[in-house]
Structure 1
Amino acid sequence: MTPVKDKATALVKPTSGTPFYVTGEVSESDEAWQLRISKAEGRVNGSRRLRRSIEMLILGNSLWARKIVNGQSIDLEIPKQGTQGIYRRQDLIKPLLLPVAIEDSLYPFQRSGVAWLLRNERAILADDMGLGKTAQAISGVRRLFRHGLIDSCLVIAPSTLNMNWIREAGIWAPELITVGLNPSQSERDEQWSSTMKRAHVVVTSYEQIRNKIEIFGESPPDIIIADEAHRLRNSSSQSTRGLREIKSKRFWALSGTPLENSPEDIATLLSLLFPNKFSPRNKSDKLSTLRASLSPALLRRTKEQVLGDLPDVIERTEMLSLAGKQSAAYESAEREFRLSPKENALSSFQRLLTICDIVDGESAKLDRIVEILAEIALKGEKAVVFSYTLEPLRLLEKMLTQTDPQINSILFSGELSANARDVAIQKFKNGPSSHVLLASSKIASEGLTLTEANHVLFVNRWWNPSSNQQARDRVVRIGQERIVEVRNFVISGTVEERVSELLEAKELTFEELIVALENDLKNLS
């Protein structure tokens, strides 16, 4: 072993049997940490983080505990760069072996948000949409793990956003083992029990917490993060009732939707934050009283308030999961291709990409886009939604009408005459109630100035990166006086994810992109 870098002695207290002292010695190379654990005499000493590491390892492995008690040593090597998807028990202590200080690329207002979360065990982060609530929450959790203050984290989010949370965790807390979990009813107890023991962060859906999760009765997560927490406003919903049953010390709720206008909403959120002080029955209290009670536990910043910290354009990619019909159709199309590869690789890719957008009126992307457009309209702002196929735009227009008739959308496609196109554009630009332009990427990516909008959403992107840039630049151009948010929606685990990776490699020409996609299809076959 290389020279010992750190050493500590911990008192391990098994659930049954006599407590015993254990010493851990850590040495470090460029590639890995080496940890030797052996039985010790004496007293507790050394850093708290290393003591916590030793306790976690021994209490989590009865075989190792027996070896230590019998006088044997345990030698472990923990690689600094883990193999994706392959984790061992000792990988769980990696955050405790890393330095406490963290370097990241958060904006100053986000650092303040993280510090505020760390000061508040139970709180609501209600920043304006697009200010990075997910990044702040993950960064806060990362610091809690680094300091050894928590061992487990449960993230509850809409099912379509589960993959996005996993992706964001990989960016903002790469040393944390983050997994998604949405098991079937027959596998629930076993899957939840095993997964909580082998991961730092478990991401699940609101549907999962509707029914009791047995392991949380005896071992609740150290912190719960509830994304899109406005879904919990109904005190009688199954998700809200299920969340009450999980007794976690820390609870952070995230929502970009205003939460302070309804006594019932505030009372429900207060009852989740502080169950010993409030209940849904507090909805009969004065609105001013409820707001005063909520105020210390709520942080909300608007874009205008943090303007100096933000770039002119905020661009992000949301990773989503296929909806039910889409998933079945994708598996069928992929299986069909494997069995009988086509001569034209691009047509096979196009079919799979189309399934990622929509199947028989079902679309995970459009469900998410409707949620976002509702928030944009509520703030009185405007958005342009681009798609290079018309079917998603037609369905989105219908969904918006059904969801909220107050969200006025305008379809802009090649089917319109030149005069009708001009009328549509002027209505969008000048109509105060015209919130959304549903635009065909093929005709709206050139010649238009749409700086009245400050949101751009891509249902899909064309394979030519310059075409996507041209579409984006309808809004991001001279005359734009506000920060612009650009959102791309990508289905995780599909060819679309690969296309997204290639599109982000800006040095690729269109021809090189096509060759890369064809090679992928050959490997698929």
Structure 2
Amino acid sequence: MNGSAVPVGSIFKIDFRYHPKIVQAVKELPERKFDHNDKTWSVPAKYRDEVERFCKVHKLQFGHKVVQERKFDFVIPPLPELTIQIPLKREPRPYQETGIAYAISRQRTFFGDDMGLGKTFQAIASIEALHQQGKAAYPCLIVCPSAVKENWKKEIEQTIHRKAVVLSDGMKKTYQEFFRTGLAQFYIVNYESMKKFFVELIDDPGIDPKTLKKRKPTLKHYHFNAKAIGFYNSIIFDESHRLKAVSTQAAKIAKGVSANKETIFLLTGTPLINKPSDLIAQLGIMNRLVELGGYKHFMEHYCDGPNGASNLKELNYNLNKVCFFRRNKTDPEVKKYLPDKSRQVILCDLNKESRKEYNHALADLESYMKSYKNADDEKIKQSMKGEVMVRIGILKNISARGKLKDAFEFIQELINAGEKVVVFVNLIEIVKAVQEAFPRSVRLTGAENAVQKQNSVDAFRTNKNVDVIVLNLKAGGVGVNGLQEVSTNICFIEFGWHAAIMDQAEDRLYRMGQHNNVMCTYFLGRDTIDEWNYDLIQKKRHIANTVTGNEDMTEVSIVDSFADLFTK
């Protein structure tokens, strides 16, 4: 039986597992009402005959309550244990071992773990595990956002004894030789570049005669490079929720590239079961939709209720049974293995305009540094230090402007995952750029008075429509409390010279009241002073009493270190 209609006083209580056809039918019963508290329908007892006919047509128990189906709570079984040895450079945590075991048993699956639990590590280890089992795993293609391409390369080389290469335009004809000569087993490309590597031609779909508008190309209009696609034995799609819209070019290309692949991993920290229709394209890429009843059943059974969602517990159960696993930072078996605070670096490519401006400013500084190093008089040299610091600051400012695209892309991924984000900057123009990119944001800088600052903090804490709070290091680095109640992600687009200054800023989230792992992300302009600046901060983190409070000493230390850098 699908449910029941039970007489309760002067009404019939109608209770059933959601199905769109039954919902439509119950809405046609006279004087029916829906009780939002217990999710049941009621019809006055005087319509007994109509209710009985309704139950007979839709196979509901009439007069007696059916309880067995309502008691079924879709208990998700535990993940399997890892039973093979994998040659890894670092030990996986116990929960990561079970994730790897699940992935290699399914091969086409989602890695749905919460952010910061090591989806990247688990995916890399799973590819190596499949190879150790004698399955075709290499070469492996990784498709990811542009901002994290270098992070994937670094993570691979720190996890296993394999090599990775980031695909570039100049490698289109030669990249396969990297695998044949043992120079690379992983190939990394961003979503926007998939077309140039895998699509030879897209047919013109023509004009729709009904609307007289140009049709969008469908998958059949794409002509793929079979040799390029056939080169890869496995594929990893990072931040796969980017593929949730079937109509996008990225989703179509991903579908074409994935055809007939035995190993396809989709990584996303975004909860997948809140909007089931987002899963359709991704399940199609893995060729898993048929195991969940096919497109029509999936739409009717899981996507046709209020807010486009229905039978979510059943969907979650079936997903976990077929091709999905997720652990949260708050899970007891996970939380005890997490560090209190983690740091990661995202290398960002400067835009062309900023790179040109940066190179010009760098050449100007190099010229000035020659004069500085050749100065014999200590008084003259001392007076020049201030000018060096100004010119170094110009380089930092140019880098900050040039890396915004990659930084904003990463921050948006956090927001898409339902996270609130704390962003630190220095320049007021970067504050404005952040707020323009993220309209659902508040600010806390030196321009606001005490009341305005507190209002920003309160809005970030209590208003679910506020995703980002942007602070500058001077105004927001100390004396701000409450952010840790709602956020675990802190991002630095700009940063200072001292480890202690940065630690104080990190401590806006890493403080009493924080019950989860805090992730601190530093955005560095590739091949810029940012990389040197970050290394300087890291070195000083190992030195006690970093801050002396003496600005002159700080200036001397930085300029002399920078002079040594130019000498090298």
Query: 2 CA distance for matches of 1:432 and 1:244?
Result: 35
- Quick check: 1:237 aligned with 2:260? no
Instruction: Tell me which residue corresponds to 2:408.
Output: 366
Query: 2 CA distance for matches of 1:210 and 1:281?
Result: 30
Determine which of 171, 180, 189 is the counterpart of 1:204: 189
Deviation at 1:434, TM superposition (A): 4.2
Determine which of 373, 387, 390 is the counterpart of 1:347: 390
Q: Which amino acid aligns with 1:104?
A: R
Query: 2 CA distance for matches of 1:517 and 1:146?
Result: 47
Superposed, which structure 2 residues align to 1:137-156 within 5 Å?
137-146=123-132, 149=135, 150-156=137-143
Instruction: Tell me which residue corresponds to 1:286.
Output: 301
Query: 1 CA distance for matches of 2:558 and 2:368?
Result: 24
Distance 1:123 1:335, change over 3 A: farther
Determine which of 489, 493, 517 is the counterpart of 1:455: 489
Deviation at 1:432, TM superposition (A): 5.3
Instruction: Tell me which residue corresponds to 1:42.
Output: none
Contact 1:370-1:396 within 8 A present in 2 as well: no
Determine which of 131, 153, 173 is the counterpart of 1:190: 173
Contact 1:152-1:222 within 8 A present in 2 as well: yes
Query: 2 CA distance for matches of 1:432 and 1:219?
Result: 46
- Quick check: 1:308 aligned with 2:326? no
Contact 1:352-1:495 within 8 A present in 2 as well: yes
Instruction: Tell me which residue corresponds to 2:399.
Output: 356
3-state DSSP of counterpart to 1:235: coil
Query: 1 CA distance for matches of 2:461 and 2:391?
Result: 38
Gaps of 5+ in 1: 1-98, 402-406
Deviation digits for residues 351-390 of structure 1 (CA, Å, limit 9, x no counterpart): 222222214x95321232233234344xxxx432211222
Query: 2 CA distance for matches of 1:329 and 1:482?
Result: 41
Deviation digits for residues 232-280 of structure 1 (CA, Å, limit 9, x no counterpart): 1122322222222324321101011122344442221121111794776
Q: Which amino acid aligns with 2:417?
A: E
Query: 2 CA distance for matches of 1:482 and 1:275?
Result: 34
Q: Which amino acid aligns with 1:224?
A: I
Q: Which amino acid aligns with 1:383?
A: V
- Quick check: 1:507 aligned with 2:542? yes
Distance 1:265 1:370, change over 3 A: closer
Query: 2 CA distance for matches of 1:427 and 1:265?
Result: 30
Contact 2:149-2:190 within 8 A present in 1 as well: yes
Distance 1:454 1:182, change over 3 A: same
Number of equivalenced pairs: 410
Q: Which amino acid aligns with 2:426?
A: Y
Distance 1:330 1:216, change over 3 A: farther
Deviation digits for residues 97-122 of structure 1 (CA, Å, limit 9, x no counterpart): xx954351432212221222222211
Deviation at 1:291, TM superposition (A): 5.7
Instruction: Tell me which residue corresponds to 1:251.
Output: 264
Deviates more, 1:117-126 or 1:426-435: 426-435
Query: 2 CA distance for matches of 1:275 and 1:476?
Result: 41
Contact 1:162-1:321 within 8 A present in 2 as well: no
Instruction: Tell me which residue corresponds to 1:50.
Output: none
Deviation at 1:493, TM superposition (A): 3.0
Normalised by the length of structure 1, the TM-score is: 0.70
CA RMSD of aligned residues (A): 3.0
Instruction: Tell me which residue corresponds to 2:423.
Output: 385
3-state DSSP of counterpart to 2:328: coil
Contact 1:318-1:487 within 8 A present in 2 as well: yes
Instruction: Tell me which residue corresponds to 2:286.
Output: 273
3-state DSSP of counterpart to 1:190: coil
Distance 1:522 1:350, change over 3 A: farther
Gaps of 5+ in 2: 1-84, 200-224, 303-310, 373-386, 548-553
Larger radius of gyration: 2
Determine which of 109, 113, 119 is the counterpart of 2:105: 119
